[in-house]
């Protein structure tokens, strides 16, 4: 299996992941030659004869152009835009039968602790979560009581793009944790992120509310928690306490030891995690 690169932290002045939703350049260009002269004559001839026909023709042309502009604008605003796309159910679901406590999944007395640093917008984290690595870890080690999996927020995409959508998604997950539903919300957030563009539009306040509702959360407590950014300060404090080895997402530690991928700068596949866990268990 090919190794996948993590989403690395970069300075705010660094490059931004490409966004495929660029609006086409629809700036008008001045008409020249005969078309300009014909249009000028049509506008000055009055209401009869050939002048009226030309004026009606050009009016129809402008109506068609205006319709195209409006249609393209609506298409661009809806294509790949998290704030307007429908909320979808997760295809990879953390088993509800596994015990959890806050952001810790599994038996609290498990001999091995796996610490996972992630970002709900991160495309590499999306691959880690939905591509089989996390599911295999949960099935073979967490569900059997050998490992407990602990989630930590590391806002790598906010650092890259200079916005707060990763923090807002993390706050939404903490709000779900207040109801004992962190791992359910974890699954729903990854199902609705904008990999590979990592677009902030995936996690607008309106869409996070819709995701929480679709996940079946108690909205009477979730919505005020989301609106007020109840856990923003906790998440900010967590960033300051992040180990220096964490420079991108996902980053994984097994009993405090960093586990890397098959190549430098890549996140671990299941094979690397299995070897690290078996070595200490």
Give the C-alpha separation, 211 to 204, whole Å.
10
Q: Establish if 28 belongs to a structural domain.
A: no
User: What is the tally of structural domains in the chain?
Assistant: 2
Same domain, 152 and 192: yes
Helix or strand or coil: residue 159?
helix
Tokens of 247: 């420079």
Please state the rounded mean pLDDT for residues 92-104.
97
Closest CA to 43 of 71, 95, 149, 35: 35
Residue 42 lies in a domain: yes
Domain that includes residue 168, residue range:
100-280
Q: Are residues 198 and 140 in the same domain?
A: yes
In DSSP terms, 105 is beta-bridged to 100, 149
Q: Place 19 in a pLDDT band, splitting at 50, 70 and 90.
A: very low
Domain assignment of residue 13, yes or no:
no
Q: Does residue 212 have a pLDDT over 70?
A: yes
| Position 5 in a domain | no
pLDDT confidence band for 264 (50 / 70 / 90)? confident
User: Are 145 and 231 members of one domain?
Assistant: yes
Same structural domain for residues 148 and 213? Answer: yes
Mean pLDDT of 51-59: 53
- Residue 68 has which token pair? 């195209």
pTM (predicted TM-score): 0.73
**Do residues 117 and 218 share a domain?**
yes
Do residues 130 and 259 share a domain? Answer: yes
Assess whether pLDDT exceeds 50 at residue 43: no
Q: Is position 247 within any domain?
A: yes
Say yes or no: 125 and 73 in one domain: no
Q: What is the pLDDT of residues 161-183, one digit of tens each?
A: 999 999 999 999 999 999 999 99
CATH number at residue 227: 3.40.30.10
Residues 249/124, Cβ–Cβ less than 8 Å? yes
Cβ contact 7:249 at 8 Å: yes
pLDDT at 263: 86
Are 37 and 170 contained in the same domain? no
Confidence of residue 65 (pLDDT cuts 50, 70, 90): low
* Average pLDDT of the segment spanning 246-263: 96
**CA 201 – CA 199 distance, rounded (Å):** 5
Q: How confident is the model at residue 209 (pLDDT cuts 50, 70, 90)?
A: very high
> What is the percent of the chain where pLDDT is above 90?
68
Examine the pLDDT at 9 and tell me if it is beyond 70: no
Same domain, 74 and 112: no
- pLDDT tens by residue, 180-208: 999 999 999 999 999 999 999 999 999 99
- Non-local (6+) Cβ contacts of 124 within 8 A are 4, 5, 6, 7, 248, 249, 250, 267
272 and 210 fall within a common domain: yes
Q: Give yes or no for residue 59 having a pLDDT over 80.
A: no
In a domain, 269, yes or no: yes
Domain annotation covers residue 108: yes
pLDDT band at residue 262 under the 50/70/90 scheme: confident
pLDDT at residue 61, rounded to an integer: 55
Residue 93 located in a structural domain: no
Sequence-separated (6 or more) residues with CB below 8 Å from residue 59: none
Instruction: Indicate the average pLDDT of the chain.
Output: 81
Q: Rounded CA gap, 24 and 16, in Å?
A: 19
17 secondary structure, DSSP code: -
Q: In what order do the strands lie in the sheet with 251-254?
A: 100-101, 104-105, 147-153, 112-118, 251-254, 257-259
Distance of CA 108 to the CA centre of its chain: 30
Model confidence at 38: pLDDT above 70: no
Whether the predicted pLDDT of 277 surpasses 80 = yes
| Residue 122 in this model has a pLDDT that exceeds 60 | yes
Dist. CA 210–CA 86, nearest whole Å = 9
């Amino acid at each position: 299996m090919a190794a996948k690169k993590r989403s690395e932290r970069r300075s705010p002045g660094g490059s931004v992941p490409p966004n495929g939703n660029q609006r086409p350049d629809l700036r008008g260009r001045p008409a020249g030659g005969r078309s300009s002269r014909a249009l000028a004559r049509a506008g000055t001839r009055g209401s009869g004869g050939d002048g009226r026909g030309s004026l009606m023709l050009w009016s129809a042309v402008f109506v068609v152009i205006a319709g195209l502009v409006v249609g393209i604008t609506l298409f661009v605003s809806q294509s790949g835009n998290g704030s307007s796309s429908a909320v979808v159910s997760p295809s990879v679901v953390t088993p509800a039968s596994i015990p959890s406590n806050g952001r810790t999944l599994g038996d609290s007395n498990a001999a091995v602790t796996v610490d996972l640093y992630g970002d709900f917008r991160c495309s590499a984290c999306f691959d880690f979560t939905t591509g089989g690595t996390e599911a295999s870890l949960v099935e073979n080690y967490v569900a059997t009581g050998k490992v407990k999996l602990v989630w930590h927020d590391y806002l790598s995409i906010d650092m890259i793009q200079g916005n707060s959508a990763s923090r807002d998604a993390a706050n939404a997950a903490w709000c779900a944790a207040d109801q004992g539903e962190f791992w359910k919300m974890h699954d729903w957030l990854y199902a609705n992120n904008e990999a590979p563009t990592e677009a902030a539009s995936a996690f607008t306040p309106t869409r996070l509310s819709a995701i929480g509702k679709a996940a079946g959360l108690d909205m009477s407590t979730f919505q005020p928690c989301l609106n007020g950014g109840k856990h923003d300060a906790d998440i900010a404090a967590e960033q300051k306490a992040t180990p220096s080895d964490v420079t991108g997402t996902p980053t994984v530690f097994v009993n405090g030891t960093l586990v890397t991928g098959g190549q430098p700068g890549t996140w671990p596949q299941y094979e690397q995690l299995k070897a690290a866990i078996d070595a200490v268990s």
